[in-house]
């Protein structure tokens, strides 16, 4: 029985890791880097637990009818702590790497870290609460961690190649992940209005919906489209610095109501100041 619990606890995270790996269509990341991100994500569970225990010592918990306390626990303690440790690894381990050479890599590395975190968390829950909890988390919590990671990684990927908006984009991704994670947890933890529990699944659905849009956006804008085969003369793949972004033909997941331009400008080098970057397609 324990072997079955362990298997069910680790399979969802590994399965979603493989899924996102194969979504990196044009320039896959080295396996050693991805495995290290997964392992670091697992270890990040422990500082997150310490941060959460400190938050609980300040009076935040879910054993109350006070919705403000529950909201503080969900957003400021659980969501902030868990997304912070994942963001820290993404920003200071994966982000500076030379292999991080296109915006899609932000999503790939973020999901690997998130799946490492979710997998160890799943194992801990499995042996404490049993089979029913593992099956429920397989369908909810693990996909949620993946979706939150995509939300964060999307903007960190943009930040890498928009230096003038680097910190703005990184913080945007971090706080969007915290917001989605906090809302998800809040609707689980509050017991005042049982009907609100359905909003847990609504939050999860919305996060997954936008995650898929963001993955498609970065796939469509990969600077490696058409160059999956390594150049035999240089023995290296072309980098983002000498390629143009491909304008996407998908709907905008954030601001679909922006007016279309009849003659859109040509793509520019994303590292040059004043460019029409992917970010500028979403926010002015």
Tell me the whole-structure pTM to 2 decimals.
0.81
| Residue 176: partners with Cβ closer than 8 Å, 6 or more residues away | 151, 152, 155
The tokens describing 204, both together, are 């999860």
Domain limits of the chain?
2-220
CA distance 175 to 235: 39
Tokens encoding 134? 């593992």
Question: Tell me, what's the pLDDT at 124?
Answer: 94
Q: Work out the burial of residue 155: count CB atoms within 10 Å of its CB; fewer than 13 is exposed, 13-18 middle, 19 or more buried.
A: buried
pLDDT at 227: 63
* Number of residues in the chain: 284
Which has the closest alpha carbon to 224: 131, 99, 123? 99
Is the dihedral angle over the CA atoms 171, 177, 183, 189 positive or is it negative? negative
**pLDDT value of position 145:** 98
Exposure letters 51-74 (e unless 16+ CB within 10 A, then b)? bbeebeeeebbbebeeeeebbbbb
> What is the model's pLDDT at position 226?
74
What CA–CA distance (Å, rounded) separates 275 from 161?
11
Q: What pLDDT is attached to residue 3?
A: 87
CB 70 within 8 A of CB 64: yes
The CA distances from residue 152 to 8, 72, 216, 226, in Å, are: 26, 21, 15, 27
- 90: exposed, middle or buried (Cβ count in 10 Å: 0-12, 13-18, 19+): buried
Residue 137: count of CB within 10 angstroms of its CB: 22
Rounded distance between C-alpha atoms, residue 18 and residue 213, angstroms: 19
CA distances, 271 to each of 107, 256, 274 (Å): 19, 26, 9
Q: Positive or negative CA dihedral for 103, 108, 111, 116?
A: negative
**Average pLDDT, consecutive stretches of 10 residues, N- to C-terminus, the chain (284 residues):** 89 97 94 97 97 96 94 98 98 96 97 98 93 93 98 97 95 98 97 93 97 97 73 43 44 46 44 44 42
Per DSSP, the three-state class of 123 is helix
């Amino acid at each position: 029985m324990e072997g079955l619990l362990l298997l069910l606890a680790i399979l969802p995270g590994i399965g979603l890791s493989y899924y996102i790996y194969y979504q990196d269509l044009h320039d896959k990341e080295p396996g050693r880097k991805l495995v290290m991100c997964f392992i670091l994500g697992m270890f990040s569970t422990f500082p997150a637990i310490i941060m959460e225990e400190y938050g609980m010592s300040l009076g935040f918990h879910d054993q109350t009818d006070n919705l403000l306390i529950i909201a503080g626990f969900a957003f400021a303690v659980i969501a902030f702590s868990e997304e912070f440790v994942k963001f820290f690894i993404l920003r200071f381990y994966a982000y500076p790497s030379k292999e991080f050479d296109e915006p899609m890599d932000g999503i790939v590395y973020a999901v690997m870290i998130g799946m490492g975190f979710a997998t160890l968390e799943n194992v801990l829950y499995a042996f404490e609460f049993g089979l029913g909890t593992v099956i429920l988390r397989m369908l909810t919590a693990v996909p949620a961690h993946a979706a939150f990671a995509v939300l964060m990684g999307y903007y960190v990927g943009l930040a890498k190649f928009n230096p003038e908006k680097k910190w703005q984009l990184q913080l945007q991704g971090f706080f969007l992940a915290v917001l989605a994670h906090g809302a998800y947890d809040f609707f689980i933890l509050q017991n005042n209005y049982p009907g609100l529990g359905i909003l847990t699944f609504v939050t999860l659905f919305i996060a997954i919906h936008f995650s898929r849009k963001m993955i498609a956006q970065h796939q469509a804008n990969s600077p490696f489209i058409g160059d999956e085969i390594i150049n035999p003369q240089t023995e290296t793949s072309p980098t983002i610095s000498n390629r143009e972004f491909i304008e996407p033909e998908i709907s905008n997941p954030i601001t679909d109501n922006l007016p279309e331009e009849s003659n859109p400008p040509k793509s520019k080098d994303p590292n040059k100041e004043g460019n029409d970057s992917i970010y500028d397609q979403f926010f002015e």
